[in-house]
């Protein structure tokens, strides 16, 4: 039987490559340059990222989340602390993030340690969410089995309809990933891609280039 393969996408890798001299000395600033460009061109969708976690035994799992802020304190996202990712982060607080920005043929890989943010940060963000999202996050025990969908929907609806403000539940909040490794990948013609790696060195960042 003849094997069939997914056809090769016809990318033309339009962007100028960065090399390790041109790249910003601070990887957070390099991230900002690429992220802001993507955010403008993607109409605000550039903050979708894959989050990889692993359990105690090292078995990995992966899902999409939304980046909500990035500062020298880390990359911030919000979720249910009791979800699968939350349980895995309790067992193993190391994680990886991946951004893929197809338009410019770029990917950014970020790895590091993850910690919960303060209650104040979670409560502040929660208070700005739409009421339906607040009700959903309050009612849902993310990643647990759902035996009765219509009952669940009713509970959400009831909560939305009540007049009282919905407080941020204890089980919900933010995590920040404090990066200790970044890789910026720029697609290039002929698969001769550019890959700039940043690793900590003596309180600063060391830049180097990887083979494609
Ligand atoms: C584009 C996109 C963005 C998402 N953003 C979030 C998010 O910010 N937080 C979250 O908890 N789940 C988000 N989800 C849902 C997660 O991918 C996932 O289904 C959920 O968090 C449960 O994952 P877990 O069982 O591995 O914990 C998003 C899904 C997509 C497709």
- Measured in Å, residue 65 CA sits from the centre of ligand 1 at 5
Q: H/E/C letters for each residue in 41-97?
A: HCCCHHHEEEEEEECCCCCEEEEEEECCEEECCEEEEEEECCCHHHHHHHHCCEEEE
Among the residue ranges 1-15, 51-65, 72-86, the one predicted with the least confidence is: 1-15
pLDDT: which is higher, 1 or 48: 48
The residue that leads in pLDDT, 40 or 44, is: 40
What φ, ψ does residue 35 adopt, rounded to 5°?
Answer: -65, -45
CA of 147 to the centre of ligand 1 (A): 20
54 CB neighbour count, 10 Å cutoff: 17
Rounded distance from Cα 189 to ligand 1 centre (Å): 33
C-beta separation of 19 from 196 below 8 A: yes
The secondary structure of residue 104, as a DSSP letter, is G
At the second CATH level, the architecture of 27-120+171-209 is Roll (2.30)
* Residue 66 confidence (pLDDT) above 60: yes
For ligand 1, atom 14: residue with the closest CA: 65
Please state whether the predicted TM-score (pTM) of the whole model is above 0.85: yes
Give yes or no: 207 in active site.
Answer: no
Residues pairing with 77 in the sheet: 175
User: Strand runs (DSSP E) across the chain, as ranges?
Assistant: 48-54, 60-66, 69-71, 74-80, 94-101, 106-116, 172-186, 194-201, 204-209
Q: Which of 191, 194, 195, 207 is catalytic?
A: 191
Phi and psi angles of residue 152, each rounded to the nearest 5 degrees, phi first: -60, -45
- Count the Cβ atoms, other than its own, within 10 Å of residue 81: 19
pLDDT of 10 > 70? The answer is no
Identify the band that residue 178 occupies on the pLDDT scale cut at 50, 70 and 90. very high
């Amino acid at each position: 039987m003849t094997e069939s393969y997914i056809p090769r996408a016809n990318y033309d890798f339009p962007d100028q490559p960065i090399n390790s001299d041109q790249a910003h000395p601070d990887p957070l600033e390099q991230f900002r340059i690429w992220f802001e460009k993507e955010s403008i061109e993607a109409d605000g969708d550039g903050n979708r990222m894959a989050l990889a976690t692993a359990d105690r035994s090292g078995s990995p799992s992966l899902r999409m989340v939304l980046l909500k802020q990035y500062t020298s304190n880390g990359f911030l996202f919000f979720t249910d602390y009791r979800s699968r990712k939350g349980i895995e982060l309790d067992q193993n607080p190391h994680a990886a993030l991946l951004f893929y920005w197809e338009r410019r043929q770029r990917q950014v890989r970020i790895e590091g340690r993850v910690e919960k943010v303060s209650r104040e940060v979670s409560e502040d963000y929660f208070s700005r969410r739409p009421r339906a999202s607040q009700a959903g996050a309050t009612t849902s025990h993310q990643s647990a089995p759902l035996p009765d969908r219509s009952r669940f929907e009713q509970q959400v609806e009831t909560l939305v309809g009540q007049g009282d403000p919905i407080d941020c539940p204890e089980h919900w909040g933010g995590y920040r990933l404090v990066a200790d490794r970044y890789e910026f990948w720029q697609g290039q013609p002929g698969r001769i891609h550019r890959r700039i790696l940043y690793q900590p060195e003596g309180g600063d960042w060391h830049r180097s280039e990887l083979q494609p």
